């Protein structure tokens, strides 16, 4: 194994809770639209008929309730993950895998596949397009993991909570293709 000082910190779950609320912008727009339709239905231009004020209010109420429920679910989920992931890291209960990669499949620049990293019987699949605060920075978009990397990954299942990397110190990991390593590989250790 490499010495402690050989690794560079590449990622740790954000400490700033604001980062955890990405993905609620669009539902909040619908909440705002619903509020406008509820409060000012008569001030908006009518494209259907003058009687559409009640229809606008009904749509506004529906938009507020539906989008508000989505915002509530997302915020609740993110707060739970935030507290759980930080608890795991701070109490040193997050699982750790370390060493040279066993398999590495980079995500193409087009983004129609996930990047796959396999090490120590664990397989991680991620994409820059995933809405998550866990690690998801692929090689094709400037990510730190490459086929010759040695890594230390603290994780909670498939979520990478903390990542340390050393570049170009290992033999190149084979590319298993878009479907990942063979099924027999997973959790073999």
Least confident of 6-15, 34-43, 129-138: 34-43
Mean pLDDT of the chain: 84
Range 17-37 burial, b when 16+ CB lie within 10 A, else e: eeebbebbeebeebbeebeeb
CA dist 143 and 40 (Å) reads: 47
- Confidence grade of residue 189 (pLDDT, cut at 50, 70, 90): very low
CA dist 128 and 125 (Å) reads: 11
CA distances 87 to 9, 152, 154, Å, are 19, 19, 13
- Confidence grade of residue 188 (pLDDT, cut at 50, 70, 90): very low
Which tens digit of pLDDT belongs to each residue from 86-145? 899 999 999 999 999 999 999 988 878 899 999 998 999 999 888 778 899 999 999 999
Query: Is residue 187 predicted with pLDDT exceeding 60?
Result: no
Query: Is residue 68 predicted with pLDDT exceeding 80?
Result: yes
- Confidence grade of residue 147 (pLDDT, cut at 50, 70, 90): very high
CA distances 66 to 12, 28, 172, Å, are 33, 11, 49
């Amino acid at each position: 194994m490499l010495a402690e000082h050989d690794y560079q910190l590449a990622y740790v779950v954000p400490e700033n809770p604001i980062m955890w609320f990405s993905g609620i912008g669009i539902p909040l727009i619908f909440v705002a639209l619903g509020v406008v339709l509820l409060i000012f239905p008569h001030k908006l231009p009518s494209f259907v008929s003058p009687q559409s004020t009640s229809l606008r209010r009904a749509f506004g109420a529906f938009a507020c309730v539906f989008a508000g429920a989505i915002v509530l679910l997302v915020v609740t989920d993110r707060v739970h993950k935030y507290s759980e992931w930080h608890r795991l890291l701070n109490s040193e209960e997050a699982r750790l895998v370390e060493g040279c990669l066993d398999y590495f499949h980079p995500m193409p620049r087009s983004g129609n596949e996930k990047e796959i990293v396999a090490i120590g019987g664990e397989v991680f699949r991620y994409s820059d397009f995933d809405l998550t605060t866990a690690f998801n920075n692929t090689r094709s978009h400037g990510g730190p993991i490459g086929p010759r990397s040695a890594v230390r990954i603290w994780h909670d299942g498939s979520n990478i909570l903390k990542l340390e990397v050393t570049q170009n110190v290992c033999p190149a990991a084979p590319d298993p293709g878009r479907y990942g390593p063979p099924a027999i590989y997973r959790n073999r250790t």
